[in-house]
């Protein structure tokens, strides 16, 4: 079995779990009976309302995920215990797999007809699974508790094929100490990229090893910055690529010029193998747009004052949207129980509170009373910026050949970032290759 593969088999009599915090641990499993005294019962409830009561026959379902690996296995176990207390006749066998192994494993299982009853998909792979008809239609499930933007990401042609299991976005982190040293006011939600440029130049002037900002020149960063400049990668009905539009050229040029012209962002050689988070943690980077999942890491690693704000825009604001879909195997004979589990996991107040308390990521729900508990956790002081950013979410263009499109654009942007191609040449080439290799609607 592959390195990094972690299996947590959880059943109803489980009173605790020793979490595996390292993706490189060996396989472990635990089997116990469920509360009804039946081991691994596999009968389908036969109901269509996605609910299970104490009077129904016990059922065991399988659930596979990657998002809990590396530190949140115990939180997921607590979620299951709370679920099982409410639905004692549904036993869930949970398998947690390291992200590096997950999609190879799932591809093999789906092709071989051994996929679990329900499982997790990232947004990059979701569309291809939906197109292949291997995941079930969830349109009849209860979606009233979900954030509508998150929910819409997993709706294809009016059919709901997934439920948003989590919800993360990107904000602008900044080193308050460096801003103080440079004599620059802290960023706020009114900033544009011109304001970032000016502040970055002041921070860069503190010394040769200081830099104002780091934002990777990759597809994931580019599609969002393009939106901030009023651009997009596809036209409105997703029938044509618009990669080399004037707006996109302007966005990419700004990103590349930070490295090649003003050098407020370090080159790969200047990074010397250091990661962007490492550079921020070293105290030599003024700003970094990155995900809210960095909160716990920066709290532990940074010995300077830092805070966040809504990411700057240009002609408009646009912030990243990240979510993973919870889906049901179209071939499962226990769809009702599987839907009950993933709906509870993704949208119940109790599951959401456990997720927030663990500092995992945001539950994709619309219950503001539950979400307000998130604001009480510091740092950062301006945690409200996380919710303010939700007003400007942009979803990446979800197409069946998402990974191919992403790889092509990242490859060409990398060439522009090193100066081997101009921005115009890079995006023209990306446009041509995507048109030649990818068929849209």
Task: Kindly report, residue by residue over 335-375, the tens digit of the pLDDT.
Answer: 999 999 999 999 999 999 999 988 888 899 999 899 888 88
pLDDT per residue over 78-112, tens digit each? 999 999 999 999 999 999 999 999 999 999 999 99
Q: Read off the pLDDT of each residue in 53-60 and give the average, rounded to a whole number.
A: 73
Rounded to two decimals, what is the model's pTM? 0.76
At 53 the pLDDT is 41
> What percent of the chain is modeled with pLDDT above 90?
74
* Statement: residue 237 has pLDDT above 70: yes
Encoded tokens for 171: 């904000």
Give the pLDDT confidence score for residue 377 in this predicted structure. 87
- Res 209 pLDDT > 80: yes
Higher pLDDT, 30 or 255: 255
Q: Calculate mean pLDDT across residues 37-56.
A: 38
- pLDDT, residue 28, reads 32
CA distances from 426 to 2, 102, 153, 335, 396 (A): 37, 32, 29, 46, 20
Position 191 pLDDT exceeds 90? yes
Q: Which range has the worst mean pLDDT, 139-153, 328-342, 422-436?
A: 139-153
**Cβ atoms 186, 155 nearer than 8 A:** no
CATH architecture of structural domain 169-321+381-437: 3-Layer(aba) Sandwich (3.40)
Q: Which CATH architecture has domain 1-161+325-366?
A: 3-Layer(aba) Sandwich (3.40)
Region of poorest pLDDT, from 13-22, 212-221, 350-359, 364-373: 13-22
Tokens 């290759």, residue located: 433
CB atoms within 10 A of CB 205: 11
Q: Hey, which bits of 176-305 come out as E strands?
A: 211-213, 285-291
Mean of per-residue pLDDT scores for the chain:
88
Evaluate if residue 23 carries a pLDDT over 50: no
Q: In whole angstroms, give the CA distance from residue 252 to residue 423.
A: 7
Residue 2 pLDDT exceeds 70 = no
Whether 22 shows a pLDDT value over 60: the answer reads: no
* Interatomic CA distance for residues 422 and 233, integer angstroms: 19
Per-residue tokens: 346: 């993704």
What is the spatial distance between Cα 145 and Cα 167, in angstroms, rounded to a whole number? 14
- The answer for residues whose C-beta is within 8 angstroms of residue 57's C-beta and 6 or more apart is 41, 43, 45, 89
Res 186 pLDDT > 60: yes
In DSSP notation, 164-206 reads E--BEEEEEEEEHHHHHHHT-PPP-TT-BHHHHHHHHHHHHTT
Nearest-angstrom CA–CA distance, 131 and 78: 34
Query: Is pLDDT above 50 for 332?
Result: yes
pLDDT for the residue numbered 393? 86
Question: Is residue 129 pLDDT above 50, yes or no?
Answer: yes
C-alpha–C-alpha distance, residues 368 and 178, integer Å = 34
Measured in whole angstroms, the distance separating CA 110 from the mean position of its chain's CA atoms is 23
Confidence band of 321 (pLDDT split at 50, 70, 90): confident
1-161+325-366 and 169-321+381-437, same CATH topology:
yes
> What does the DSSP assignment read for 32-69?
---TTS-SS-------SSS---TTSPPEEEEEEESTTT
**pLDDT > 80? residue 13:** no
Q: Domain limits of the chain?
A: 1-161+325-366, 169-321+381-437
């Amino acid at each position: 079995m592959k390195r990094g593969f972690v299996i947590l088999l959880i059943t109803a009599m489980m009173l605790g779990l020793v979490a595996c915090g390292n993706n490189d641990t060996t396989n472990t499993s635990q089997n116990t009976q469920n509360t009804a005294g039946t081991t691994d019962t596999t009968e389908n409830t036969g109901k269509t309302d996605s609910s299970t009561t104490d009077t129904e026959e016990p059922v065991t379902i399988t659930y596979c995920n990657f998002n809990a690996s590396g530190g949140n296995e115990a939180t997921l176990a607590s979620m299951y215990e709370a679920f099982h207390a409410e639905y004692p006749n549904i036993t869930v066998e949970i398998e947690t797999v390291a992200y590096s192994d997950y999609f190879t494993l799932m591809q093999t299982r789906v092709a071989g007809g051994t996929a679990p009853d329900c499982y997790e998909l990232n947004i990059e792979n979701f569309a291809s699974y939906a197109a292949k008809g291997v995941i079930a239609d969830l349109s009849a499930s209860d979606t009233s508790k979900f954030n509508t933007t998150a929910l819409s990401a997993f709706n294809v042609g009016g059919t709901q094929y997934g439920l948003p299991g989590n919800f993360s976005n990107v904000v602008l982190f900044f080193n308050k100490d460096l801003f103080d040293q440079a004599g620059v006011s802290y960023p706020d939600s009114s900033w544009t990229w011109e304001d970032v440029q000016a502040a970055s130049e002041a921070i860069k002037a503190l010394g040769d090893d200081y830099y104002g900002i780091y934002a990777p020149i990759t597809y994931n960063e580019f599609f969002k910055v393009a939106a901030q400049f009023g651009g997009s990668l596809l036209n409105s009905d997703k029938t044509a690529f618009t990669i080399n539009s004037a707006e996109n050229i302007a966005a990419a040029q700004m990103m590349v010029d930070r490295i090649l012209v003003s050098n407020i962002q370090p080159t790969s050689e200047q990074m010397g193998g250091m990661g962007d988070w490492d550079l921020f943690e070293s105290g030599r980077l003024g700003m970094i747009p990155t995900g809210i999942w960095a909160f716990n890491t920066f709290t532990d690693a940074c010995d300077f004052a830092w805070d966040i704000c809504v990411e700057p825009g240009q002609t408009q604001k646009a912030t990243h949207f990240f979510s993973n879909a919870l889906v049901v195997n179209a071939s499962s004979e226990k769809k009702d129980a599987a839907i009950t589990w993933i709906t509870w996991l993704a949208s119940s107040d109790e599951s959401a509170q456990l997720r927030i308390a663990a500092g995992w990521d945001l539950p994709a729900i619309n219950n503001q009373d539950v979400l307000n508990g998130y604001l009480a956790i510091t740092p950062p002081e301006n945690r409200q910026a996380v919710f303010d950013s939700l007003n400007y979410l942009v979803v990446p263009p979800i197409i069946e050949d998402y990974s191919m499109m992403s790889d092509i654009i990242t490859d060409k942007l990398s060439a522009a970032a090193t100066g081997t191609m101009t921005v115009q040449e890079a995006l023209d080439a990306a446009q041509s290759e995507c048109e030649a290799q990818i068929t849209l609607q």
